[in-house]
């Protein structure tokens, strides 16, 4: 990548860590995308895995960051968001956080050949004994990347009646593919010169980590 500024994307909303790297401002350039199935080992393996893609002595080359903010596992999502916030603050570079559900919705809607503006899609992640996390997305040419988050992911408890008014699909993460989605969105943000302040980028927790204790 010849010393050019880099775009780094991190995704750990599932048990698989996705790390993606691409020259900043070159969305058509080949991207390096790696996935690491870590499960509970993420806390110890996060930095070594990131360094497999981009060694720490090259981190000053990062010109912009993107991170998946969840919903997902409490520890996994928090760790990559904290790392991304720290890098953005120390390097004084833009950071963009995107919902993991939004990344899934972009993949699914892009795969629909007949999808049209205004079409909506619900995503659902079923949680054992606690209900489901649901969010709604739609094609919108005015939104960054063409897909808007119409309803942010929220918890629907088992006793609550719920039925989406549009097709519903499982919120199935593909860490590598969704890391590529992060690259695409962050490249668009860079092209639009969006500022990307790090402070508002926080993990999205529709459920409480202490619920039921």
Indicate whether 93 and 105 sit together in one domain. Answer: no
Q: Do 20 and 90 reside in the same domain of the chain?
A: yes
Domain assignment present for residue 207? The answer is no
What does the pLDDT read at residue 211? 57
**Domain span at 149:** 101-170
Q: Taking the alpha carbons of 79, 98, 61, 34 in that order, is the dihedral positive or negative?
A: positive
The total number of structural domains that make up the chain: 2
Regarding whether 69 and 122 lie in a shared domain, the answer is no
Rounded distance between C-alpha atoms, residue 130 and residue 188, angstroms:
37
Retrieve residue 128's tokens. 């054992």
Residues 6 or more apart in contact with residue 19 via CB below 8 angstroms: 8, 9, 10, 11, 33, 34, 35, 36, 49, 50, 52, 53, 179
Please tell me whether residues 114 and 151 are part of one structural domain.
yes
Q: Tell me if 54 sits within 8 A of 63, measured CB to CB.
A: no
Instruction: Tell whether the model's pLDDT for residue 127 goes beyond 90.
Output: no
56-67 per-residue burial string, b: 16 or more CB within 10 A, e: under 16: eeeeebbbbbbb
Whether residues 26 and 37 share a domain: the answer is yes
Q: How far apart are CA 93 and CA 141, in angstroms?
A: 27
CA dihedral 115, 116, 118, 124 (to 10 degrees): 0
Q: pLDDT tens, 49-98?
A: 999 999 999 999 999 999 999 998 888 899 999 999 999 999 999 999 99
Mean pLDDT of 189-193: 98
Based on the domain organization, do 48 and 130 belong to the same domain?
A: no
Q: Indicate if 115 and 68 belong to the same structural domain.
A: no
**Residue 209: pLDDT band with limits 50, 70, 90:** low
């Amino acid at each position: 990548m010849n010393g050019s500024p880099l775009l780094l994307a991190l995704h750990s909303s599932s048990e698989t860590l996705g790390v993606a790297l691409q020259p900043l401002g070159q969305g058509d350039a080949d991207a390096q995308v790696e996935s690491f199935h870590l499960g509970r080992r993420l806390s110890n393996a996060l930095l070594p895995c990131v360094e497999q893609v981009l060694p720490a002595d090259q981190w000053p080359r990062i010109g912009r960051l993107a991170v998946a903010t969840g919903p997902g596992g409490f520890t996994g999502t928090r760790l990559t968001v904290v790392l991304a916030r720290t890098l953005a603050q120390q390097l004084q570079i833009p950071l963009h956080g995107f919902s993991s559900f939004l990344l899934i919705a972009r993949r699914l809607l892009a795969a629909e050949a007949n999808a049209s503006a205004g079409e909506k899609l619900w995503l659902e992640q079923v949680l054992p004994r606690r209900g489901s996390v649901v969010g709604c997305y739609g094609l919108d040419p005015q939104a960054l990347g063409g897909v808007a988050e119409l309803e942010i992911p929220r918890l629907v408890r088992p006793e609550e009646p719920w039925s989406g008014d549009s097709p519903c699909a499982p919120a199935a993460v593909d860490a590598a593919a969704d890391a590529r989605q992060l690259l695409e969105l962050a490249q668009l943000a860079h092209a639009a010169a969006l500022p990307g302040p790090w402070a508002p980028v926080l993990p999205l927790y529709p459920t409480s980590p202490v619920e039921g204790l």
